[in-house]
Amino acid sequence: MLRCHARRVMTVAELALEPRTLILEELQRCMDAVAETELLEAQRAILHAPRIFTAGAGRSGLALKMVAMRLMHLGLTVHVAGEVTTPAISAGDLLILASGSGTTSSVVHAAQVAKHAGAKLLVFTTAPESPLGLLADFRIIIPAAAKQEHDGVLSRQYAGALFEQSVLLLADVLFHQMWREHGESAASLWTRHANLE
């Protein structure tokens, strides 16, 4: 006698739970592994810079645009590389860069130009010994897979997703800490929010 075993169909909520759990668990592990000293040094570098610039490519670059916006909300002078109103970087300025591999050519080039001008570099990367990592004055090393790593050891997410997510979340951690220490109200920060939308 043959027995048929009915296979239970998963609900949409159940299908979404596994990726949600995966992403949250990877982010928690990654965030917990970042050195607190690196975050404190990054915060000091941001607060002491007369002007801040950001540069990155792809999704890392998009994450840094969000970082630039939040730093502007704190009242800091911030520019995004490549925008038509971005001035020349100069001595004393801080350039914040992100590249998982630390080899993205446009990002490494921006770092070299900034260094030549006398600016300091704050780098988010997975690769401290990469060309970008070695140029950095301040580094936040994120133990995530670079986009070229497809073995699933450091992350089961596609390409450099964990790195890119971590850049944004770690920068939000920095923002929140600086905001808390600054003591400015949310209403006060809101006065700097874009109003030409």
The pLDDT tens digits of the residues spanning 152-169 come to: 567 778 778 899 999 999
pLDDT value of position 157? 80
pTM for this one? 0.87
Residue 6 has pLDDT above 70, yes or no: no
Q: Structure tokens of 188? A: 């006060």
Gyration radius of the chain over CA positions: 20
pLDDT tens digits along 137-156 = 999 999 986 656 656 567 77
Q: Give the number of domains in the chain.
A: 1
Q: Is residue 79 part of a domain?
A: yes
What CATH number should be reported for the domain holding residue 152? 3.40.50.10490
Q: Please give the pLDDT value at position 167.
A: 96
Whole-angstrom Cα distance, residue 71 to residue 172? 10
Q: Which domain holds residue 146?
A: 35-189
Is 26 inside any structural domain?
A: no
Q: Would 14 be classed as within a structural domain? A: no
36 is catalytic: no
State the burial class of residue 195 (Cβ atoms within 10 Å of its Cβ: 0-12, 13-18, 19+): exposed
Per-residue pLDDT tens for 85-116?
999 999 999 999 999 999 999 999 999 999 99
Which residue out of 14, 18, 149, 164 is catalytically annotated?
164
In a domain, 16, yes or no: no
Residue 5 lies in a domain: no
pLDDT tens track for 19-59: 888 889 899 999 999 999 999 999 999 999 999 999 999 99
Please tell me the predicted confidence (pLDDT) of residue 22. 87
